[in-house]
Amino acid sequence: MSAIVTTSRDLCRRCYSCVRRCPSKAIRVRAGQAEVMPERCVACGRCVRVCSQNAKQVVDNLPAVRELLSKGDCVVMLAPSFAAAAHPLRPGQIVAALRRAGFSGVYETAFGADLVARKYRERYERDPFALTITSPCPAANTYIQKYAPELIEFIAPFFSPMAALGKVLKQRIRPGCSVVFVGPCTAKISEARDPEVSPWIDAVLTFYELSGLLALRGVRDVESLDDEEFDPPHSWTGGIFPVPRGLLRTAELPDDLLDNDVSDVIGTDAFVDVVERLRERVRTNHIAELETRFFDVMFCRGCIGGPMMPGSASYLTRKERIVAWMRSRRAHLSRTEWEQAMERYADVDLTRSFEDDCQRTIEPTEAQIRQILARTNKLTAADELDCRACGYRSCRDKARAVFQGRAEVEMCLPYLIEKLQGMVESLNRSHQDLTEAQAQLIRSERLASMGQLAAGIAHEVNNPLGTILIYAHLLRDQVDCGTPVTPEGLRSDIQMILGEAKRCKGIVGGLLDFARQNKVNRSEVDVGTLVREAVGIVKAGRDDSIRYDVVVSDPMPAVSLDRDQMLQALSNLVRNAVELMPTGGTLSVRADWLAERRELRFRIRDSGPGIPEEHMQKLFSPFFTTKPVGKGTGLGLPICYGIVKMHRGTISAFNNEDGPGATFEIVIPVAQEEPSAPTANGFFQPIDGGMT
């Protein structure tokens, strides 16, 4: 059985509105998606109406109708509610438009309502005590067939107005024609598929599809068409059928509210409630004691409240439009002609039967319900909140749906919130653990750095101290023993001691530079002057064949920096580059103002040997140097790193892609505030090569 309502998976957003509103529990939630179960669906269209995402779609009837039209002699009948749906067009203009669309006849279903109403009247008169549930509403009939089959015997065994007129048309008025019904109801699509109805109705179109059909058939400017009248037979009172109590009035049955014999049951909730009560009566054998004998049932608030009724007009306005349309026609239609037509078709058999299509599913035992409830932590009655967020009226109802494969355990909102809270708490705990672990890691890395620094200092200072000691002992022994020493020899030894002592002083000086970096003394700095000065310091007194290229972008705002520290960092980088180009090359120093990011960027680019891949990770580690002993301390780049860090910037190095040599890049954010308290020297931060 193909579904009348389907779900568009992409659009469904797990709100469960359709689950909540479906009277026949025909929505199954699978992997979070609410889909219609065709075998359980009564096609009432409530899910279509409540879905705010338009995820529920009604089957497309247009292709079938177009095919019927192409075959010829295809007639159409309009549900009586069309007079309320036509607005702002006039009902007569819709009739005219349908003729232009190619229908060979345009009929009013209201005449079918007149015929059916007469059957009800006859039945009532014949046996006023026969328990009767009216049958024009296909959703109501289907509901009873599927969920209350013990009541089938009480459904009035008559065609709906649609099927009745279809039969009259095909049997008596236009044998051989095909018949299309247009109305506000999705359940009519299902009714037309019923084996007892399908010979008389070939296709059903909803009011929503009507404008699409007219457009496809090239019918435009409907508002400028003149009104046209339906093809006969015309209705008399059947037009009031789509209004609650319409059947009672058309059939001229008593509809006095004080009269208990007849009761109208309007709307889904009232209908389901009455069905449940009647079932109970049947089960307990109390049906004969019912005071009400005639139930006029409707799933919607009359067909004018049908799911495919266009526009947002109120119930009252719709009713007024129907009545106005009926009144306007009474002026030119003849009651005598109507009575003659009623007589003409009085012998058409309008009886039908309703099949048992029971869809009741196996009910879980109490133990099974408890087991399912326990899966969402509902262990006692107090845990069952019955909040209805899942779409079911109670936790137990939902547990039943889970058992029957229509719902998923996770659909429980309080359970999910509880689970989420648990997850948040556990995430918070692991975040706390991680923060502690990170702090510990930083502590041990600092200790490791200090150890590394101490070892480096010891190693670097120990060698020259050793040399100083050897030469000092040598000199003392020579003095003690009176060994003759030439002034040159003496001078050379003292020179050695002085050189090594100087080396120690250089190392200690470098360490002192670190200590200074704990504080940034910012002032407005002219970047052009700063860069030129850094290059000048290195260049002074050098006689080399290096081409110096200094560029400072314009405009370049005055920037707040620690001038001395930045000068030291830049000159360190320039000095390294120059020293690595002993035979000459090009040194370019650029300072750029990145306005959008409010960053100052320095690039020191050389055409020297470049940085071997294996050195990249060690560049900023203290005491890493490739220079010969006595020449380099391996403290220049770590000092630069510390200075840049204190300015909250980044420093990185890379080999040039378009030529030999390397480039060092410093980026300093300008608009940022200083750290509130000076942190430890950059040297003691974890060091891992490319620094940020």
Residues in region 463-502 near ligand ADP by CB under 6 A: none
Which distant-in-sequence residues (6+ apart) come within 8 Å of 495 by Cβ? none
Of 590, 601, 592, give the one whose Cα is nearest residue 548. 590
Residue 435: how many CB atoms within 10 A of its CB? 10
Residue 319 near residue 259 (C-beta atoms within 8 A): no
Residue 172 or 627 having the CB closest to ligand ADP: 627
Cβ-based nearer residue to ligand ADP, 165 or 619:
619
Specify which residues 158 forms β-bridges with. Answer: 351
CB 581 to ligand ADP: min, Å: 9
Q: For ligand ADP, which residue of 180, 637, 666, 667 counts as binding (CB under 6 A)?
A: 637
Q: Which of 208, 548, 624, 654 binds ligand ADP (CB under 6 A)?
A: 624
Tokens read off for 548? 């110096």
**Closer residue to ligand ADP in complex, CB, 98/580:** 580
Cα–Cα dist 554/591, whole Å: 10
Q: Minimum distance between the CB of residue 589 and ligand ADP, rounded to whole angstroms? A: 12
- The window from 244-252, 322-330, 633-641, 669-677 that contacts ligand ADP (CB under 6 A) reads 633-641
Q: Which range touches ligand ADP (CB under 6 A), out of 231-239, 339-347, 558-566, 628-636?
A: 628-636
Q: Give the DSSP H or E segment for 396.
A: helix 395-403
Least separation, in Å, of the C-beta of 634 and ligand ADP? 5
Select the residue interacting with ligand ADP from 95, 164, 326, 619 (CB under 6 A): 619
Helices (H) and strands (E) in the chain, counts: 21, 18
Whether 89 and 192 have beta carbons less than 8 Å apart is answered as no
Question: Helix-strand-coil percent breakdown of the chain, rounded to 5?
Answer: 45, 15, 40
Q: Which of 636, 642, 649, 682 binds ligand ADP (CB under 6 A)?
A: 636
Chain residue whose CB lies nearest ligand ADP: 636
184/456 with CB nearer ligand ADP: 456
Rg (CA), the chain: 47
Strand-pairing partners, residue 180, are 76, 203
| The length of the chain, given as a count of residues | 692
Write down the least CB distance from residue 573 to ligand ADP, Å.
7
Interaction residues for ligand ADP, span 336-365 (CB under 6 A):
none
Residue of 450, 627, 679, 686 that binds ligand ADP (CB under 6 A):
627
Per CB under 6 A, the list member of 80, 166, 608, 649 interacting with ligand ADP is 608
> Of 373 and 662, which has the nearer Cβ to ligand ADP?
662
Q: Residue 604: name the closest of 554, 651, 562 by CA.
A: 651
**Window 47-66: residues binding ligand ADP (CB under 6 A):** none
Position 606 contacts ligand ADP (CB under 6 A)? yes
Please identify, among the stretches 417-425, 524-532, 595-603, 629-637, the one whose residues bind ligand ADP according to the rule CB under 6 A.
Answer: 629-637
Residues 648 to 687 in contact with ligand ADP, rule: CB under 6 A: 662
CB nearer ligand ADP, residue 255 or residue 606: 606
Say what angle helices 161-168 and 109-126 make with each other, to 10 degrees: 110
Nearest CA-CA partner of 586 in 575, 598, 594, 578: 578
Which residues inside 565-594 make contact with ligand ADP, applying CB under 6 A? 572, 576-577, 580
Closest separation in Å from C-beta 621 to ligand ADP:
9
| 24, amino acid identity | S
The pattern of x and - marking residues 186 through 225 that bind ligand ADP according to CB under 6 A reads ----------------------------------------
Task: Provide the minimum distance between the beta carbon of 11 and ligand ADP in the complex, in angstroms, as a whole number.
Answer: 60
- Shortest Cβ distance from residue 640 to ligand ADP (Å)? 8
Among 634, 642, 649, 682, binds ligand ADP (CB under 6 A): 634
Judged by CB under 6 A, which stretch of 34-42, 148-156, 368-376, 606-614 contacts ligand ADP? 606-614
Instruction: Give the contacts of 232 (CB within 8 A, at least 6 positions apart).
Output: 337, 341
Residues β-bridged to residue 602: 591, 666
DSSP class of residue 593? E
Smaller CB separation from ligand ADP, 140 or 637: 637
Q: How far apart are CA 339 and CA 342, in angstroms?
A: 5
* Residue span binding ligand ADP (CB under 6 A) among the ranges 208-216, 303-311, 364-372, 618-626: 618-626
Beta bridge partners of 665: 603, 652
Q: Report the residue number, 535 or 619, with the smaller CB distance to ligand ADP.
A: 619
Binding-site size, ligand ADP (CB under 6 A): 19
Beta strands in 599-684 (DSSP E): 599-606, 650-655, 662-669
Q: Is 233 helix (H, G, I), strand (E, B) or coil?
A: coil
Minimum distance from CB of 687 to ligand ADP (Å)? Answer: 12
CB 10 → ligand ADP: shortest distance, Å?
Answer: 56
Q: How far does Cα 497 stand from its chain's mean position?
A: 77
> Exposure string (b/e) for 188-198, b if CB count within 10 Å is 16 or more?
bbbbbebeebe
Nearer to ligand ADP, 478 or 685 (CB): 685
Please identify, among the stretches 395-403, 474-482, 584-592, 631-639, the one whose residues bind ligand ADP according to the rule CB under 6 A.
Answer: 631-639
In terms of DSSP H, where are the helices of 251-289?
Answer: 268-283
Is position 625 an interface residue for ligand ADP (rule: CB under 6 A)? Answer: yes
Residue whose C-alpha is closest to residue 548's, from 510, 525, 575? 575
**Residues 532-571, mask of contacts with ligand ADP (x by CB under 6 A):** ----------------------------------------
DSSP state letters, 505-560: HHHHHHHHHHHHTT----EEE-HHHHHHHHHHHHHTT----EEEEEEE-SS---EE
Complex with ligand ADP: residue 264 or 606, whichever CB lies closer? 606
Output 108 or 606, the one with its CB closest to ligand ADP.
606
Q: Among residues 482 and 612, whose Cβ is nearest to ligand ADP? A: 612
Q: Which of 633, 641, 649, 667 binds ligand ADP (CB under 6 A)?
A: 633
Residue placing its CB nearer to ligand ADP in the complex, 311 or 659: 659
Quick one: 138 or 636, whose CB is closer to ligand ADP?
A: 636
Which of 506, 632, 660, 669 touches ligand ADP by CB under 6 A?
632
In this structure, what are the phi and psi dihedrals at residue 19, rounded to the nearest 5 degrees? -60, -45
Q: What is the 3-state secondary structure (H, E, C) of 155-224?
A: ECCECCHHHHHHHHHHHHHCCCCEEEEEECCCHHHHHCCCCCCCCCCCEEEEHHHHHHHHHHCCCCCHHH
Closest distance between ligand ADP and the C-beta of residue 480, in Å?
39
- Between 202 and 606, whose beta carbon lies closer to ligand ADP? 606
Kindly indicate which of the ranges 150-158, 345-353, 394-402, 630-638 contains the residues binding ligand ADP, using the contact rule CB under 6 A.
630-638
DSSP labels, 125-163 = HH-TTS-EE--S-HHHHHHHHHH-GGGGGGB--B--HHH
List, in sequence order, every residue forming a beta bridge with 210; answer none if it has no partner. none
> Interface with ligand ADP includes 459 (CB under 6 A)?
no
List of residues contacting ligand ADP (CB under 6 A): 572, 576-577, 580, 606, 608, 611, 619, 624-627, 632-637, 662
